[in-house]
């Protein structure tokens, strides 16, 4: 019996995933990855319309760490953008370019590609350094305000210029554990990160697991290199050079980035800065204290 001939099926692309005009670019490979000039693929999320807010995540995490903020500000009518820094999350696991100037240059390529103007840049921890470096070097005409949360600015490490900083031995220990025991270390560090080692703390394993998941998605070489970046990069001149409004938020129980040598000094260096110190809040306060942090950022944006 002769089999029935059937017409060849053609692939239909769902309009939801069709490449929109704002993503038509020679360097784009997929809807959510931009290939920057050295060939590194930078993963990003871009949701909503309205004034753009660009989020910069901390070490060794990804854009997923901003879920609470992305949802909140999206529902408030903002366009929300976040990316996975090179070597982190779903971006290329790079073995080079893992330093702050390249991080900021990657953001500059992405923001130019997305044509972001009058944007609010919000950075947590290492991302705070990235946000202020980007604003200082590339932000003219594109950045309206900056928010630094639990940020490493202006300078973390203890030396003759910063006698109250964090001793090098602390960062050497982080390097050792990242290199030799990353999977276990990324579980252990969640306790001081979220203040879960404090008496009476309500430990949420899902939050710990999500931190671990994000960390293990990234490349070990890039994350190892980034320890030097967040501990030794000096952002003094970046802070001095920006004249746009900058909000500095920090918890006084931050066990990762001590507030007295970072937030307080950063606010003093800024021309147009505002400082809020939260009693008892931990380093990971954008997650554990999202309602408070989001409300204060919104008030700052609207002021």
Catalytic residues, by residue number, are 125, 254, 283
**What is the CATH architecture of 27-302?**
3-Layer(aba) Sandwich (3.40)
Q: What angle do CA 175, 127, 276 make, to 5 degrees?
A: 115
Q: Which residues contact 18 (CB under 8 A, 6 or more apart)?
A: none
Number of Cβ within 10 Å of residue 281's Cβ equals 23
Q: Enumerate residues 6+ apart whose C-beta is below 8 A from 43.
A: 32, 33, 63, 83, 84, 89, 90, 91
pLDDT of residue 6 exceeding 80: no
Q: Please state whether beta strands 33-35 and 143-149 pair in parallel, antiparallel, or not at all (unpaired).
A: unpaired
Residues 98-126 have a mean pLDDT of 98
Which pTM does this prediction carry?
A: 0.90
- Per-domain boundaries in the chain: 27-302
Q: Does residue 117 register a pLDDT over 50?
A: yes
Write the pLDDT tens digit of every residue in 239-292: 999 999 999 999 999 999 999 999 999 999 999 999 999 999 999 999 999 999
> Looking at 19-28, 70-79, 115-124, 264-273, which range is the least confident one?
19-28
Number of Cβ within 10 Å of residue 28's Cβ equals 14
**Could you tell me if 104 and 233 are in contact, meaning their C-beta atoms sit under 8 angstroms apart?**
no
């Amino acid at each position: 019996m002769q089999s029935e001939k059937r017409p060849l099926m053609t692939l239909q692309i769902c309009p939801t995933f069709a490449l929109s005009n704002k993503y038509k670019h020679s360097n784009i490979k997929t809807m959510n990855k931009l290939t920057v000039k050295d060939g590194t693929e930078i993963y990003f999320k871009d949701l909503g319309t309205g004034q753009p807010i660009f989020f910069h995540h901390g070490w060794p995490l990804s854009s997923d760490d901003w879920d609470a903020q992305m949802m909140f500000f999206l529902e408030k009518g903002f366009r929300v953008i976040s990316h996975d820094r090179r070597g982190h999350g779903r971006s290329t696991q790079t073995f080079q370019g893992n330093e702050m100037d390249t991080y900021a240059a990657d953001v500059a390529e992405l923001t130019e590609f997305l044509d972001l103007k009058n944007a609010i840049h919000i950075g947590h921890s290492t991302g705070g350094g990235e946000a202020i470096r980007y604003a200082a070097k590339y932000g003219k005409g594109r950045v309206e305000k900056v928010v630094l949360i639990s940020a490493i600015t202006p300078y973390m490490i203890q030396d003759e210029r910063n006698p109250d900083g964090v001793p090098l031995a602390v960062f050497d220990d982080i390097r050792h554990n990242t290199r030799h025991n990353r999977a276990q270390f990324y579980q252990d560090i969640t306790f001081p990160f979220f203040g879960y080692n404090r008496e009476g703390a309500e430990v949420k394993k899902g939050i710990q697991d999500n931190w671990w998941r994000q960390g293990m998605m990234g490349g070990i070489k890039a994350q190892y290199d980034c320890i030097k970046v967040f501990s030794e990069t000096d952002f003094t001149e970046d802070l001095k050079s920006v004249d746009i409004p900058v909000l500095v938020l920090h918890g006084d129980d931050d066990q990762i980035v001590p507030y007295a040598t970072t937030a307080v000094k950063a606010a003093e260096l800024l021309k147009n800065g505002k400082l809020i110190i939260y009693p008892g809040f931990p380093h990971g306060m954008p997650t554990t204290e999202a309602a408070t942090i989001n409300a204060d950022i919104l008030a700052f944006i609207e002021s």
